Amino acid sequence: MKINPFFKKKNDIYFSDILKVIGLKTSKKNEKINDLKDLITAKKNDISFINNMKYLEQLKNSKAKYILIDKKFLDNLKDLNNLIPVDNVLKSVSDITNLFYPNSLDDAVDFNVKSPTIKKYLKIKFGKNVLIGKNVKIGKNSLIGHNTIIESNVIIGDNCIIGNNVLIKNSIIGKNVRILDGSVIGKKGFGFFPNNLSNNRYPHIGIVMIDDNVEIGCNNTIDRGSISNTEIGKNTYLDNQIHVAHNVKIGKNCIITGQVGFAGSSIIGNGVQIGGQAGISGHLKIGNNVKIGGGSGVIKNLPDNSRVMGYPAKDIRNFLKENK
């Protein structure tokens, strides 16, 4: 997706503007910078960042013009000449995000929502007290339940069923998707910088992307991405009361049972099955066809076809031997 429909970007941002906003001295170089992107999606005129050395390979392969990096990592990367060392990478990313997207923290309530007009949304069935924002697209033969709010610019595909008391914002949803009662899709993620005086909120300019044939259970919360997007793959089913944090990517054909929690930026492969009340820590990679037992705590990467259980999660055969 080349254009973010939810947050308007300022186009005339130069390298000197970025250096100024993060408190660094200006440079003789003053080229125009197109956008702030993650390491993978950044292009030659973008700026990016790295805050964890587990993304070193992505750093070396990134096309970004400039990359923010913590000063403590600089000695290990002297061969790269496009790095900008800073004291606090995430604080600098926050300041730059606000520079490019000045309205990114102002989306708590969409006051443009109104009752839908029948002429505009043919072949769609609405419950009572539904509110729809501007530029919303809803596919044919879809159903929207009572008291549901769909905020501006959201896209929903054909044959979708959206339950009662659902809130959808900052999202693009495919065909044949079911979102059950009470779910909140596309809210800002839990990102802030604590200090002695106040907690400064971290802007989120990513979106939620839900592929075809997905089911989202009751009272799920799916946060939009901070810089990249939060994604739910095709044919994946989420049970009730699941939390998916910002930037999480869940693959195809997964089955996630009740009360599972995903911390930010973890990547879940295809065909993964997770039992109830399991927790997945942040910035992890879970391989394809992995099975995670209920109540487990996953704190490290898991290769394809793993079967784990317990806290910390370990091979299920070892877990069963230790807990006979």
* The predicted structure's pLDDT at residue 118: 80
Q: Which CATH architecture describes the domain 125-322?
A: 3 Solenoid (2.160)
Question: What's the rounded mean pLDDT across residues 86-99?
Answer: 90
* pLDDT-derived band at 193, boundaries 50, 70, 90: confident
Tokens of 214: 């997905």
Q: 156-187: string of b/e by CB count within 10 Å (b at 16+)? A: bbbbbbbbbbbbbbbbbbbbbbbbbbbbbbbb
Flag whether pLDDT at 324 surpasses 80: no
User: Does this model's pTM top 0.85?
Assistant: yes
The CA distance from 309 to 295, in Å, is 8
Q: What angle do CA 95, 200, 56 make, to 5 degrees?
A: 55
- What would the pLDDT profile of 59-71 be if each residue is shown by its tens digit? 888 999 999 998 8
What is the reported pLDDT for 194? 75
Query: How confident is residue 1, by pLDDT bands cut at 50, 70 and 90?
Result: very low
Give percent above pLDDT 90 in the chain. Answer: 68
Predicted pLDDT at 3? 59
Q: Which tokens sit at 129?
A: 């007290």
For domain 15-100, give the CATH superfamily: MurE/MurF, N-terminal domain (3.40.1390.10)
Backbone angles phi, psi at 216, to 5 degrees: -110, 120
Q: ∠90-168-207 over CA atoms, to 5°? A: 35
State the chain's mean pLDDT as an integer: 91
Decide if pLDDT at 119 tops 90: no
Task: Based on the residue annotation, tell me whether 246 is a catalytic residue of this protein.
Answer: yes
Q: What residue segments make up the domains of the chain, in order of their start?
A: 15-100, 125-322
pLDDT in tens, 131-140: 999 999 999 9
Res. 75: pLDDT tops 80: no
Task: Decide: 127 and 144 in contact? Cβ < 8 Å.
Answer: yes
The reported pLDDT for the residue numbered 159 is 97
Selecting among 146, 204, 246, 283, the annotated active-site residue is: 246
